[in-house]
Chains A and B, each alone.
Chain A
Amino acid sequence: MSLALNLSHEPITKIPHGKLAMWAFLASELMFFSGFFGGFIVLRNTNYDVFGAGSAHLNWTLALINTFILIGSSLTMALAIHNLEHKKDGAFRLFMGLTILGGFGFLIVKYIEYSSKFADGLFPGQENHTVFYSFYFLMTGFHALHVIAGMIPMAYIFFKGFTKAGYPYPSKVETLGLYWHFVDLMWIFIFPALYLMIPYHVAGAH
């Protein structure tokens, strides 16, 4: 039987399948983090002082560094896509590598932060743990998982870039880029919510 010929046509919306599904998935991701933020808002209002003290104790300098790392890696991601689309393989590999490096940098800073929290006894089950730190570990933890999940396909694409054929699918890299920008964007919300929303009276005490 001959396969029907007119079935595999261009995407009707002109958006490639993977990219369209990614947009839907990002809507889903947004709702996922909204669940956390919803809980955060409610419990912050009923545990105002605990949250203030917790925020004041966090290391916002490290978080700020991480913010810049992520924004930077979003930029290099965009440059990588741009170069792949223009068939500049060398520049593509460079920027893809830098993006992955950004991901590693972010995770290393996170590791430093987490170990100082561990030393201060702030992990769940430790003596100084409060509901604020539950949110801290929940939100930064899931965010870090998203970073790792993005780095795996990036590494694959990066190494494919060194083969003779190079990496042949700019639209797939673009789809991954969408995800990466989303992970960046989520951090831009998590950062102020956790690190910067310190009530005056608590901030003064420090």
Chain B
Amino acid sequence: MSTSLAHTEEHADHGHAHEHEHHDLPWYRKYVFSTDHKVISKQFMLASLIFLFIGGAFALMLRWQLAYPGEAIPVIGHLLPDTWVAEPGSGVITPEFFVQLTTMHATIMIFFVIIPMAVGMFGNFCIPLMIGTDDMALPRLNMWSFWLVPPAGLIMLAGVFTEMGYAGAGWTSYPPLAADINKEAFTFSGQTLWLISVFMIGFSSIMGAVNYVATVLNKRAKGMKLFDMPLTVWGLFITAIIATLGTPVLAAGLAMLFFDNFFHTSFFIPDHLVSGASFPGGGQPVLFQHVFWFYSHPAVYIMILPLMGIVSEVLATFSRKPIYGYKAMVFAVAGIAFLGFIVWGHHMFQSGMNPLLGTTFMLSTIVIAVPSSIKVFNWLGTLWRGNIHFSSAMLAALAFVSMFIIGGLSGVFMASAPVDIYIHDTYFIVAHIHYVLFGGSLFGIFAGIYYWFPKMFGKMLSESWGRRHLFWSFLAFNATFFPMHVLGIGGHMRRIYDPNVYDFLKGMQGMNEFITIAAIVMGFSQLMLVGNILYSLKWGKKAPRNPWNANTLEWAAPPHPGHGNFDMDITVYRGPYEFGVEGRELDYWPQWEPGKSITVHHHTIAVSDDTSTSVGMH
């Protein structure tokens, strides 16, 4: 970093000057009901980090049961409420509570951690800053899209006060189980609350997404064409389109399931399943699966496309090279988004759907591997012969790429219907989703936090603690989830309470214990991230304006920008990844810096204003 770091002090730091910008607002408008996109972004971050630890604690509890069935959970076991444990004070959780744990863990991680972080936190922070504008197109709508999240979370967690406890039908909440057919009409169970909560979070997503679309289309800085946008903004923009078109379909499915659950209608309840007049019957359970996956497959791309953008950003900056194949990257994201809408049936090979239809979905799913591979190869192309700096953000981005390769490859296995019939609903799936969602999305989120923290809070994070956090997370992550592939192929089903009751699983119990120990290490490694954040907020080094010598517009803003973001006029002169331009002293060329260049065989060459015409004839 030595050559480039020398230039970071080029701008004087007037970051604190914003303090008197919005002094006339009362405190609750500044910090609570704020319409400033950066404050909203931090609110998303805080809420999601809290949920991350709740969801993580749930995961560790269920992991304990899998590794040591029938043994008391250490430390917290005897504190658990009586309804959660087999016998009061025993510390051994019940099967009912176990499935509630799996359900709540997945729901929290997907709807309250990954999506709010990937889309809510980074979307809010990055979009206005990276396109060089002062705020979102509709700041008030933006505020409400956050303020639906905490009540939604509380409603879901309030399930614990209902008779049966939390929702327990899995994050996919298939009916008839999720319709709670034994429950009276017009009463609430944890599942009813779950449905309301996810409906709300979906509405929050849509409100955010339409705002992102309007912002990107309408508010780009002067001179910024669509193809001058950083890949992060592209990822978020296309994600917003997916969320706009996909989330409402989930909402429709949840509304119907809510009707079944609460009013005892029968959209998803077949004839003769329930006797008595309350359910008329005539519905189809598989219909829900179609509706659900029509959203939830695109939703996995909602959870990864923004991070793919962020990782591209980080890889280019810390390899000091232009992103390899910028346009190809954009079209690959668009292709993934489009194909993502026609592959949902790969979750349903085993649901009794027509095998011919299964073949169709198998083909479309395998085709998605093509744009995904384009992205991976372009990332590798970006790294190739780069001047690589192993900063924390870069390490997290490298973890993302490598883990996404493994997760994508296991995806291709499962996409093949004959293979999937064997591994469906086993730990192989659990391994896949964690390789893409933890190894991919969460490491992408880490990359984003390490990369933008200086801009978000005006302080530098500790690099050495960042590396330690990533090292332990990466190691423990692989120790936790790689063996799950083997468990899955060995026939270990998902969501089972006690593997020891199956003879054929007994030989693999050691693996379950190993996984649990690794998971505990992984969980506690995350304290290094939180500690690093808290320490830096208070005692961290003050951040310069452009600590990584990057090109995109957010680095033109003062560190910890105030209301209105920028303290100078912003005009965009070039694309976001002009690193190592010939004819320039610096190895980077910010988008906002005036200057002329020509392009020869995909290489940008800087030229001075008057010579441009003669050098242009190459």
> What are 21 of the A-B contact pairs (CB < 8 Å)?
A1-B18, A3-B134, A4-B134, A4-B569, A6-B570, A20-B214, A20-B218, A24-B214, A28-B244, A28-B248, A29-B248, A31-B249, A32-B248, A32-B251, A124-B265, A130-B280, A131-B265, A131-B280, A131-B283, A134-B265, A138-B267
B263 contacts chain A at the CB level, 8 A cutoff: yes
> What secondary structure prevails in chain A residues at the interface with B?
helix
User: What residue in chain A is nearest B556 (Cβ atoms)?
Assistant: A4
A residues less than 8 Å from B253 (CB atoms)? 35
Q: B residues 566-589 with Cβ under 8 Å of A?
A: 566-571
Binds A, one of B68-76, B114-122, B158-166, B204-212: B204-212
User: What residue in chain B is nearest A134 (Cβ atoms)?
Assistant: B265
Binds A, one of B219-227, B411-419, B441-449: B219-227
A21 contacts chain B at the CB level, 8 A cutoff: yes
A1-B138 in contact (CB<8A): no
Which residues of A are interface residues toward B (Cβ below 8 A)?
1-9, 11-13, 15, 17-18, 20-22, 24-25, 27-36, 38-39, 42-43, 46-47, 50, 124-125, 127, 129-131, 134-135, 137-138, 142
Chain B: residues with Cβ within 8 Å of the partner, total of 61
A42-B218 in contact (CB<8A): no
Identify A6's interface contact among B185, B211, B248, B569, CB under 8 A.
B569
B residues less than 8 Å from A31 (CB atoms)? 244-246, 248-249, 252
B residues less than 8 Å from A3 (CB atoms)? 134, 564, 566-567
B residues less than 8 Å from A134 (CB atoms)? 259, 265-267, 280
User: What residue in chain B is nearest A127 (Cβ atoms)?
Assistant: B277
Query: Considering the complex of A and B, which 5 residue pairs feature the smallest CB-CB distances, nearest first?
Result: A35-B252, A32-B248, A134-B265, A17-B137, A124-B263
Identify A2's interface contact among B214, B277, B567, CB under 8 A.
B567
A15-B218 in contact (CB<8A): yes
B287-A39 in contact (CB<8A): yes
Identify B281's interface contact among A11, A17, A131, CB under 8 A.
A131
Which residues of B are interface residues toward A (Cβ below 8 A)?
14, 17-18, 21, 132-134, 137-138, 141, 185, 206, 209-211, 213-215, 217-222, 244-249, 251-253, 255-256, 259, 263-267, 277-278, 280-284, 287, 290-291, 558, 562, 564-571
Separation of A147 and B229 alpha carbons in the complex (Å): 39
Separation of A131 and B245 alpha carbons in the complex (Å): 27
A residues less than 8 Å from B133 (CB atoms)? 7-8
Separation of A2 and B112 alpha carbons in the complex (Å): 38
B214-A1 in contact (CB<8A): no
A9-B248 in contact (CB<8A): no
B residues less than 8 Å from A47 (CB atoms)? 282
A17-B138 in contact (CB<8A): yes
Identify A125's interface contact among B215, B255, B263, CB under 8 A.
B263
B residues less than 8 Å from A13 (CB atoms)? 217-218
B291-A39 in contact (CB<8A): yes
B214-A21 in contact (CB<8A): yes
Separation of A42 and B253 alpha carbons in the complex (Å): 13
Q: With A1-B21, A21-B213, A31-B246 given, is the CB distance from A124 to B264 under 8 Å?
A: yes
B280-A129 in contact (CB<8A): yes
Separation of A23 and B21 alpha carbons in the complex (Å): 34
A9-B266 in contact (CB<8A): no
Separation of A22 and B564 alpha carbons in the complex (Å): 24
Separation of A133 and B151 alpha carbons in the complex (Å): 32
A residues less than 8 Å from B213 (CB atoms)? 20-21, 24
A43-B267 in contact (CB<8A): yes
A residues less than 8 Å from B290 (CB atoms)? 38
B residues less than 8 Å from A27 (CB atoms)? 244-245
Minimum CB–CB distance from A127 to chain B (whole Å) comes to: 6
B218-A12 in contact (CB<8A): yes
User: What residue in chain B is nearest A33 (Cβ atoms)?
Assistant: B252
B571-A6 in contact (CB<8A): yes
Minimum CB–CB distance from B508 to chain A (whole Å) comes to: 41
